[in-house]
Structure 1
Amino acid sequence: MTPGARVSAAIAVLDRVAAGEPAEKALTNWARRARYAGSKDRAAVRDHVFDVLRRWRSTAAMGGADTGRGRMIGLLRQDGPSPETLFDGAGHAPAPLSPEEEDAGSAPEGAASRDMPDWLWPQLAHDLGPQADAVAEALRHRAPVFVRVNTLRADPDGARAALADEGIEARPAGLSPNALEIVAGARGLARGAAFTGGLVEMQDAASQAVVDALPLAPGMRVLDYCAGGGGKALAMAARLNGGSVAVHDAEPARMKDVPARATRAGADLRIEEHPRGEWDLVLCDVPCSGSGAWRRAPEGKWRLTQAGLDALCRTQAGILDRTAPLVAPGGVLAYATCSLLTCENTAAIERFLADHSGWMLQDSRSFLPGPDGDGLFVAVLSRAR
């Protein structure tokens, strides 16, 4: 595919996304129809689509139209090259810009200039204060790629050497001692022996730092109550030197890859459909807005509503209420989100402490999206003996 044909494909996918189709589904459906597209073509189209999704409002403003075509024009006006070089009508490239399109487009203002929904930006600005603009800007761009060195299989130096043998360049990341940032060759990571052999796992550096903040020690009974794909459970198992971690999720289908991931990592993860008894540590990595990771999943930024956020806060409170009795006296209840919003983070902990006696906030940490990782929050609560 020519660069122009890739732009045409991205325009078609973006129009389907604007009509309500999830981006991943729209990209998959396009790829199935476009058998001629090679891996580099598919990667380039995907990059175009997600670059626009991160900047949904500003690209429409600069392109002069709330369409896939307008947004791709706007993206090129932001990042280059000039739209006229790719919108030339040659082969499968988009038709040349009309005189009206050449004159259309303007710099976005207010929340649109930050690529934020109008209803959400004031709340985010209030919660983040002087850091709000920098965070909004970070969310407009691609996230770095990080891996966690699985210490059940390797140490950081050994993992870096194994990656280098595959043409993948990695360097230590600052937030966690076992985090590596992939600086070259990231597209080949999932096919390489270092990954398939369990030496490394894909995991954001801030997500790793959340697990680092937990008071884990070998021999503890540990439950990951909202395990999802099992990323944090695998990291906890490594910190427990191979000790068992129980995993649970309200939607068991989310854990379908857990057995295979555990086998690859050499970790002992046990699925608990109905957790009972008392645990030394229970981690609740609760469903949330995902606002701290919107550069990885940008659709969430545009699909979130105030009603949806309110419902998430109720769900989070309910999970804390259900898991508190599972913690043994003297044990720990850890609460984590990938959110930047106070209502999902510190306010949720304040509500819990106000409603539950015998609990104390032991530690809390916030991470903001930037070059070191995504935006996450963790609070560690201890139960009285």
Structure 2
Amino acid sequence: MTPAARLSAAMDVLDRVAAGGNAEQALTQWARASRFAGSGDRAAVRDLVFTALRRRHSHAALGGGESGRALILGALREAGTDPAALFTGEAHAPAPLSAQETAHLARPVALEGTVALDCPDWLAPQLQASLGADFAPVMQALRDRAPVYLRVNTARGDRAAAQASLAAEGIATRPAPLAETALEVTGNERRIRNAQAYRDGLVELQDAASQALVAALPVRPGQRVLDYCAGGGGKVLALAARARQQLFAHDADPGRMRDLPARAARAGTEVQLLTGPEAAARGPYDLVLLDVPCSGSGAWRRAPEAKWRLTPERLRDLQEIQSEVLDKTMSYVAPGGCLAYATCSVIEAENGARIKAFLAAHPDWRCSFQRRFTPLEGGDGFYLALLTRR
């Protein structure tokens, strides 16, 4: 594909996302329908799409609209690239610029405030109150692509061994300071899933802040541990590497856990998958981890369309769900056990505010630990609170 044809493909995918589609699914659909596109083409189109979504506010201002075409025009303008040389209409290139587009591109555009930070206007006051002086730097960080991190499975080997194995296959890494198990991939990340270290369960893809969150959990050998909102199971697998425990996983959508048994086998451990009634019946547990449904604001670099689809109503609904999950699972915790509440959000209403509300309603519980991670530390934004009965 020519560079111009890649722009056309990205515009098409962006229009599908604007119509309500999921970015990953839209990219997959385009790739399946475009068998002529090589791996380099697919990677280039993906980068164009995700950059435009992360920077939708500013690219719309620069490009003169929110269509896929306008967002790509905004991206080219930001990069200092003359679109006229690419928008020729020839050989799958975008159609030539209209007079209106040419006029807009000729006018100066001052990017300020929430537009410059690519922050949803309605959410800016909450994010400012939540992040304080870190508001602008965090929002700026969320405009860029997230680093790729690996978790070293210490049940299989140490970080040095993992680095050496990856390096032998041309994958460059460096230790990440957030967690002792974390490696940041600095070269040839697309080779990871075929690497021997990955196939043998020595490394797993996992964000560095997510690893640091797991490292902060109180873990002892022989514990019964339930990951109640397990998703794909990355955190429960990280827990398995810390100590030999009896591990259980549940998710409201069991389909998210379909790969977990195979991943656990590759990592050299076992995780029992439970339905909702089974999770309640198999208790109590020494540790219950709740990575609750949330806005995902700390991970907007990875799922940028979520930034623009979040609404005040949806945020309120999420807070209700978070409180309901806390109230439901506190009875699952054994005496002396711990209820660990986590989000991948940087919004205080989903984090400390939920813990304050829980403690006010349940004075027999206390919070023994809180920690907030932001993208300024390298990984995604996360929040963790450890709750125990008094």
Please give the alpha-carbon distance, in whole angstroms, between the structure 1 residues aligned to 2:357 and 2:253. Answer: 26
Task: Give the alignment's Cα RMSD to 1 decimal.
Answer: 1.3
- TM-score, length of structure 1 as denominator length: 0.97
| Residues 225 and 245, structure 2, Cα contact 8 Å, conserved in 1 | no
Provide the secondary structure at the position in 2 that maps to 1:370.
Answer: helix
Letter paired with 1:203: Q
- How far apart are residue 244 of structure 1 and its match? 2.6
1:73-104 CA-to-partner distances (Å, cap 9, x unmatched) read 10111134332332233422223323432331
Matched with 1:87 is: 87
1:237 correspondence with 2:240: yes
C-alpha separation in 1, matches of 2:130 and 2:363 = 27
Q: 1:227: which partner in 2?
A: 230
Aligned counterpart, 1:369: 375
The residue number in structure 1 matching 2:131 is: 128
Matched pairs, number: 383
Aligned residue number for residue 248 of structure 1: 250
* Percent identity over paired residues: 56
Instruction: Give the AA of the match of 2:237.
Output: L
**1:292/1:368 contact within 8 Å kept:** yes
Distance in 1, matches of 2:261 and 2:110, equals 49
Cα offsets for 1:213-272 (capped at 9, x unmatched): 1011111111111111000000001111x4331111122111111111111111221112
CA gap 1:80/1:155 in 2 versus in 1, 3 angstroms: farther
Letter in 2 for 1:318: E
- Which residue is equivalent to 2:328? 322
3-state DSSP class of the match of 1:217?
coil
- Residue 65 of structure 1 aligns with which residue? 65
Deviation at 1:371, TM superposition (A): 5.6
After superposing on structure 2, the runs of 4+ consecutive aligned residues of structure 1 that deviate more than 2 Å are 79-90, 95-100, 105-110
1:94-144 per-residue CA deviation (whole Å, 9 max, x = no partner) reads: 233234323315233332221122111111112111110111111111000
1:213 to 2:219 alignment:
no
Whether the 8 Å contact between 2:295 and 2:315 is mirrored in structure 1 is yes
Deviates more, 1:165-174 or 1:25-34: 25-34
Q: 1:258 aligns with which of 257, 260, 263?
A: 260
Letter in 2 for 1:288: C
The question of 1:354 aligning with 2:377 is answered no
The alignment status of 1:180 with 2:196, answered yes or no, reads: no
Q: In structure 2, what is the Cα distance between the partners aligned to 1:269 and 1:108? A: 50
**1:359, 1:383 within 8 Å by CA — same for their partners in 2?**
yes
User: 5+ unaligned residues in a row in structure 2: which ranges?
Assistant: none
Contact 1:328-1:383 at 8 Å conserved across structures? no
Structure 1 gap ranges (5+)? none
- 2:296 and 2:386 mapped to 1: Cα distance? 20
Cα contact 2:152–2:202 (8 A) shared by 1: yes
Q: Is the 8 A contact 1:150 1:238 kept in 2?
A: yes
SS for the counterpart of 1:137 is helix
Q: Deviations 1:183-218 (Å, cap 9, x if unpaired)?
A: 011111112221121110100000000001101111
